[in-house]
Amino acid sequence: MQIGIPLSKDAYTPEAFAYSFFLEKLGHEVQLDYELDPNNDINFYFMGVIPFWHKKEGRAIDIHEYQSLSTPPYANIKDGLKRVLNKKPSGRIFLNKTVHHELGFNDNVPHIYRDMGVEKELFQTPSKNPTYDIVYCGSITNRPGLVQAILKLSVNFKIVIVGNITELEREVLNKGSIDLLGRVDRSYLPNIYREARYGLNFTPDIYPYNIQTSTKTLEYMASGLDIISNKYFWAERFFSMMNYQPFWLEEDILPLMHNSLKSIIPIQQALIKEYSWENILTSSNLESFLRDCLHNEIY
Task: Profile the chain (299 residues) by mean pLDDT over runs of 10 residues.
Answer: 89 88 96 94 82 68 88 72 82 92 89 93 90 93 90 93 91 91 91 95 89 92 92 94 89 68 67 86 96 83
- Whether residues 132 and 93 fall in one domain: no
- Whether residues 58 and 154 fall in one domain: no
- Whether residues 270 and 174 fall in one domain: yes
In sequence order, the 6+-apart residues with CB closer than 8 A to the CB of 126 are: 193, 194, 195, 196, 197, 223, 224, 225
- Whether residues 156 and 57 fall in one domain: no
* pLDDT in the model for residue 189: 94
Positive or negative CA dihedral for 289, 290, 293, 294? negative
DSSP 140-191: -TT-TTHHHHHHHHHTTS-EEEES---HHHHHHH--TTEEEEES--GGGHHH
Work out the angle between the directed axes of helices 286-298 and 14-25 (0-180°, nearest 10): 80
CA distances, 101 to each of 75, 79, 88, 97, 213 (Å): 14, 11, 17, 6, 16
pLDDT tens digit sequence for 58-111: 889 999 999 888 777 767 777 777 777 788 899 999 999 989 988 888 889 999
- Whether residues 155 and 282 fall in one domain: no
Q: Are 200 and 136 a contacting pair, CB within 8 Å? A: yes
Q: Are 227 and 201 a contacting pair, CB within 8 Å? A: yes
Q: How many CB atoms lie under 10 A from the CB of residue 288? A: 10
With vertex at residue 177, the alpha carbon angle to CA 172 and CA 178, rounded to the nearest 5 degrees, is: 50
- Whether residues 88 and 219 fall in one domain: no
Q: Provide the 8-state DSSP code for 224.
A: T
CATH code for the domain of 248: 3.40.50.2000
- Whether residues 126 and 265 fall in one domain: yes
CA distances, 24 to each of 4, 21, 285 (Å): 12, 5, 15
- Whether residues 151 and 194 fall in one domain: yes
- Whether residues 45 and 158 fall in one domain: no
The tally of CA atoms less than 13 A away on the side-chain side of residue 72 is 10
Phi-psi label, residue 206: left if phi above 0, alpha if psi -120 to 50, beta otherwise: beta
Overall domain count for the chain: 2
- Whether residues 124 and 261 fall in one domain: yes
* pLDDT in the model for residue 299: 59
Helix (H, G, I), strand (E, B) or coil at 294: helix
- Whether residues 125 and 269 fall in one domain: yes
**Structural domain of 225:** 120-275
With vertex at residue 150, the alpha carbon angle to CA 248 and CA 275, rounded to the nearest 5 degrees, is: 55
Q: Are 64 and 83 a contacting pair, CB within 8 Å? A: no
Tell me which residue of 299, 244, 236, 241 sits closest to 274, measured CA to CA. Answer: 241
DSSP 121-153: GG-----SS-S-SEEEES--TT-TTHHHHHHHH
d(CA 89, CA 45): 10
Tell me which residue of 152, 163, 160, 155 sits closest to 133, measured CA to CA. Answer: 160
- Whether residues 29 and 176 fall in one domain: no
d(CA 241, CA 146): 25
Q: Note the pTM of the prediction, 2 decimals.
A: 0.86
